[in-house]
Amino acid sequence: MSKNVITDVCVIGAGISGLVTAKCMRDVGFDVVVIERTNDVGGLWVFKEKGYGVMRFTHINVSKQNYCFSDFPFGDDVPDFPHNEQMASYIRDYTRQFGLYDIIQFQTEVVSVKRKGDGWQVMTSKVTADEDGVVTRTGEESIVQCKYVAIASGHHAKPKWPNFDGQDQFKGEIIHSVDFKDAITNDLTGKRVLVVGVGNSGVDAAVNCATEGRCKEVHLSTRSGAWVLSNYIFGCPVDHYASRALLWLPWQLVNMVTETATTLTYGHPNKWGLNPKMKAHQTQFTICPNLVFHIQRGQVKMHPNITRMEDKKVYFTDGSFTEVDAVVFCTGYFIDLPYLDEEVRSQCLKDGNSLELFKNIFSPDIGSSLAFIGFVQPASGGLLSMSETQARWWAELCKENVRLPDKETMLDVIKKEQEECAKKYFSSSRHTIQKDPIIYNDDIAARFGAKPQLWKHPRLAWRLLLGTCGSAQYRLQGPGKWDKAHDVVMSVPTTAFVDYSATAVLVIIAAVLMWFLTLLCC
């Protein structure tokens, strides 16, 4: 039996993107309903024995200063790179702090999203999950009628499976990373394991198999290779090196510095069989402090891409082969929005999967009544600050305090950004939505007055230029200004390497000017 719910805003998903969207929309006075398929908040950050979520051992690979809500920082007792249990606890605390639990409909699945007059109609169904994580609908349906809809269910939705010759006849076990919890839980102890993919999930899975999992052999296959960085460089979290001053430089120059620093630390990645086919800044970095250590010890053996499978043998493009008992595909995800009405889908997606949106948020054909929050891939740093900046902009648009450009302008911007992306990044589906968080957040925040201005914050100018500054910098001014933002930004250190380098550059410039002035005076 159906029942109607009438509200201002419907948010799909109670992960980090959905929660921050709900909070931002409530901050400006809207009534909000959040639809969540599971029985908890936090999305992928909630570990589950069965079903979608992080691996048991996963830590965030972005520092807590750059992966937090802008007005709700982590406590001092939390390490730089929190474990997933700490992340889940933090997200629940945020939900409780801002009274969001009361507006979430748990164990509810979106069936369809359609236009309805000047607004939207979201049909939902109650669901249950069995002990294996299989979700079924109960038949209890509802209809949410609203003026605005936010899709915040994430772009890591549908597992992407490769298809190699002989894969269907492979006599070992094949699983996707979505079902990999740890080597012990997945009964891989003592077995020969091949992990496919050198993104963060892939290298984490390989290291887990080689250490706690006590697998007999661990092999790691990569199609395109990777630049692997440690969590820390010169004692500071690696993402703390991102800054406006650095990103204003030509990316090729920044790339040279990054590759040099990496090579001086570990040696060139080719030495370890990582064999990247791209420059360091043409892809998202893989963050892992100990992969090279395990490769050097022979506990993880590197291989190029797979050509075919036969019995339990896996053959590679260099002509070599190995025999394994299990294969773990860490090969990513597709965007999956099956509930979108066909008309809406055609206005938002290209070729059925690739989103074509203004600033990764809005369809030029639909406008600001429908927002995609969190459908962006951070080049460095984390997604959370980007989702929050998107949500705050959307709130100001819905309040009609600011406006979107006209359709033609939005289409031109989309085309230009696609061309720029194709020039810079290595050809890959995930790079079609890749953005640098500082550049992206500055762009979005400037559209509603929240981009930090150096002249307004002279005491923070050095940090705003040379530091990462964390999420709170976007609460220094504009709508949603937070009186504690200044102190939180001050607590995020700049790196000694950048401080010394910038000071040296200033000294050199001063010396050159003094020499030039001396010549003029003579």
Q: Are residue 249 and residue 351 in the same domain, yes or no?
A: no
Residue the block writes with tokens 């499976």:
161
> What's the number of domains the chain is made of?
2
Judge if 341 and 366 occupy the same domain.
Answer: yes
Main-chain dihedrals φ then ψ at residue 85, nearest 5 degrees:
-70, -40
Is 498 within the bounds of a domain? no
- Whether 247 is covered by a domain: the verdict is yes
Is there a domain that residue 348 lies in? yes
Q: DSSP state, 70? A: T
Q: Residues 91, 261: contact at Cβ < 8 Å?
A: no
Q: pLDDT at position 506, please?
A: 67
Give residue 482's pLDDT. Answer: 97
131's torsion region: left (phi>0), alpha (psi -120 to 50) or beta?
alpha
Q: Note the pLDDT of residue 217.
A: 97
Report the CATH number at residue 61: 3.50.50.60
Both 196 and 319 in one domain: the answer is yes
Task: Note whether residue 481 is domain-resident.
Answer: no
Q: Which of 306, 331, 356 is the last residue of a domain?
A: 331
Q: Cβ neighbours of residue 382 under 8 Å, at least 6 residues apart?
A: 60, 62, 66, 67, 239, 437
120 within 8 A of 50, measured Cβ to Cβ: no
Q: Are strands 192-196 and 333-334 parallel, antiparallel or unpaired?
A: unpaired
| Pair 309, 278 in one domain | yes
Query: What b/e readout covers 62-91, taking b as 16+ CB neighbours within 10 angstroms?
Result: bbbbbbbbbbbbbeeebebbbbbebbbebb
User: Which of 437, 459, 480 lies at the terminal end of a domain, its last residue?
Assistant: 437
The pLDDT assigned to 186 comes to 96
- In this structure, the answer to whether residues 136 and 51 fall within a common structural domain is yes
| Bridge partners, residue 217, by sequence | 192
Is residue 312 included in any domain, yes or no?
yes
For residue 357, being part of any structural domain is answered with yes
- 75 shares a domain with 113: yes
Model pTM score? 0.93
Please tell me whether residues 150 and 7 are part of one structural domain. Answer: yes
For residue 233, give its domain range: 161-331
**pLDDT given at position 427:** 65
Considering the domain architecture, whether residues 194 and 269 belong to the same structural domain is answered as yes
Q: Same domain for 403 and 341?
A: yes
266 is a domain residue: yes
First to last CA, the chain: 93
Q: Are residues 56 and 199 in the same domain?
A: no
Digit-by-digit pLDDT tens for the chain (522 residues) are: 457 899 999 999 999 999 999 999 999 999 999 999 999 999 989 998 887 889 999 999 999 999 999 999 999 999 999 999 999 999 999 999 999 999 999 999 999 999 999 999 999 999 998 877 788 888 889 999 999 999 999 877 788 899 999 999 999 999 999 999 999 999 999 999 999 999 999 999 999 999 999 999 999 999 999 999 989 888 889 999 888 988 888 888 888 888 888 888 888 999 999 999 988 888 888 999 899 999 999 999 999 999 999 999 999 999 999 999 999 999 988 888 999 999 999 898 876 567 899 999 999 999 999 999 999 988 877 899 999 999 999 999 999 999 999 999 999 999 999 888 888 776 665 556 788 999 999 999 999 999 999 999 999 999 999 999 999 999 999 999 999 999 999 999 888 777 666 676 666 777 767 776 777 776
Domain boundary among 437, 457, 487: 437
In a domain, 522, yes or no: no
Are 9 and 74 part of one and the same domain?
A: yes
319 shares its domain with 343: no
The confidence score (pLDDT) of residue 432 equals: 64
